[in-house]
Amino acid sequence: MPSMEHLKELKAFLSIPKDIVITTHRNPDGDAVGSSLALFHYLSQMGHTVRVMAPSEYPDFLSWMPGATEILVFDVHTEQGTEWLQRADMIFVLDYNDLERVDRMGEVIAPLKCPKVMIDHHLFPDPFADYVLSDTTASSTCELIYDFMVMMGHLDRIDPKIADSLFTGILTDTGSFKYSTSSKLYRIVADLVDRGVDDVRLQDLIFNSMDEKHLRLLGHCLYNRMEILEEYHTGIITLTKEDYEKYSISRGDTEGIVNFMLKLKNVKVAAFIHEQPTITKLSLRSKGDFSVQEIAKMHFKGGGHRNASGGSSYAGLKATVKKFKSLLPNYKTQLDNA
């Protein structure tokens, strides 16, 4: 169980109704949205005025989540978002640990004097927050929101909406309990089930809600765009701007495609490299001890976790793929032994 400094002070602060803004990262995933909404429901229940925002839109498959429609997209409603942030008594930073990751929203938050609370599980947190609950061994930020509620002495406040939100983040960040699990996590999940989570229904809502075009896109990626570099135990899928147009997809639609390459016995590293309007994005995944975090951080201005990281490049798609491939020989021994 992680700990949090100055918890007493934070408890006292939250014992009186406040204006609170919860923020999360760009392209929010199940854990970002799940942790934000769980905290939103919890703090609202306590009598606070709570708002949630992210720099960009959440993916469609999360739109069923209670409270999802309340999430403000900062890049679209910048003025409203800025006003909320400037008026806030406290700002929560969830599922990211560096204001640079949230661009303009971060630029608004950085100079604000109000206390900030970071709850996150990514490596190397930037020490800007006043209260920090950071545990890189946690499966998800949702696991840490559960821990936070334990610390607050408020487990009994977990209602079905909070439980569903927490379960969603845990499920998506662990790939349905395939990575980053622990006995502690299973105990938390057991408790959430006791508190009303219908796990089968949620698995169905989250994983069996694809549009036909998404499944066809997956087929296209695996059949036409996948390259396996046996020697380096690495798989690469690339997607061009034209692919995005042809399949009329937006960025969130490609979520999860990278993971399919890890199903191959010999593959230890998977890279999904795709063209965005102005940059080339990389999604990196690995199995076991091999860390993709270093590659993302050192070569693609990114970061993340040992087994799931991301980054970007201003070079085009071809040049970025070439650069990625050129790095692999440096890791050959590590890859052979991982």
Binding region for ligand 5GP (CB under 6 A): 101, 122, 283, 302-305, 308-312
Identify the DSSP state of 15: T
Which C-beta is closer to Mn ion: that of 97 or that of 254? 97
Bridge-based pairing state of the strands 49-54 and 72-73: parallel
Given a contact cutoff of 8 angstroms between Cβ atoms, the answer to whether 229 and 235 are in contact is yes
Of 190 and 298, nearer to ligand 5GP (C-beta) is 298
Does 120 participate in binding Mn ion (rule CB under 5 A)?
no
CA nearest to 33, candidates 260, 312, 255, 294: 255
**Closer by beta carbon to ligand 5GP, 10 or else 284:** 284
Work out whether 147 is an interface residue with Mn ion (CB under 5 A): no
Total residues binding Mn ion (CB under 5 A): 5
Nearer to Mn ion, 171 or 226 (CB): 171
Q: Of the two residues 34 and 304, which places its CB atom closer to ligand 5GP in the complex?
A: 304
Residues 200-219 as b or e (16 or more Cβ within 10 Å = b): eebeebbeeeeeeebeebbe
What does 275 interact with, of ligand 5GP, Mn ion, none (CB < 5 to 8 A by kind)? none
Q: Name the residue nearer to ligand 5GP (CB basis): 51 or 101.
A: 101
The whole-angstrom separation of Cα 276 and Cα 240 is 8
Region from 65-73, 134-142, 205-213, 314-322 binding Mn ion, contact rule CB under 5 A: 134-142
Q: Which does 173 bind (CB under 5 to 8 A by kind): Mn ion, ligand 5GP, none?
A: Mn ion
Residue 253 engages Mn ion in binding (rule: CB under 5 A)? no
The two three-digit tokens of residue 258, written as one number: 């990278």
Binding partner of 312, given ligand 5GP, Mn ion, none, CB within 5-8 angstroms per partner class: ligand 5GP
Alpha-carbon distance 84 to 320, whole Å?
38
The helix, strand and coil proportions of the chain, stated in percent and rounded to the nearest 5, come to 45, 20, 35
**31 interface partner picked from ligand 5GP, Mn ion, none, CB below 5 to 8 A per type:** Mn ion
Residue 70 CB neighbour total at 10 angstroms: 14
Element (H or E) spanning 189, and its range?
helix 183-194
Q: Which residue has the tokens 């997809």?
A: 249
**Comparison of 29 and 147: residue with beta carbon closer to ligand 5GP:** 29
Please, what is the minimum distance in Å from the beta carbon of residue 96 to Mn ion? 9
**Judged by CB under 5 A, which of 173, 243, 253, 275 binds Mn ion?**
173
* Residue among 95, 98, 143, 253 that touches Mn ion (CB under 5 A): 95
Residue type, 9: E
The SS3 of residue 39 is helix
Q: Is residue 31 within the footprint of Mn ion (CB under 5 A)?
A: yes
Supply angle C-alpha 262, 264, 269, rounded to 5.
40
Nearer to ligand 5GP, 35 or 283 (CB): 283
Strand (E) or helix (H) holding 149: helix 141-151
Stretch that binds Mn ion, among 106-114, 135-143, 177-185, 284-292 (CB under 5 A): 135-143
Q: How far is the CB of 122 from ligand 5GP (least distance, A)?
A: 6
- Which partner in Mn ion, ligand 5GP, none is near 147 (CB below 5 to 8 A by kind)? none
Binding mask 223-242 for Mn ion (x = CB under 5 A): --------------------
Q: What is the rounded CA–CA span in Å between residue 319 and residue 301?
A: 16
For ligand 5GP, the closer CB: 136 or 312: 312
Closest approach, Cβ 308 to Mn ion, in A, equals: 9
Compute CA distances 182 → 16, 131, 219, 289, 295, whole Å.
35, 25, 33, 16, 26
Q: Which residues bind Mn ion (CB under 5 A)?
A: 31, 95, 140-141, 173
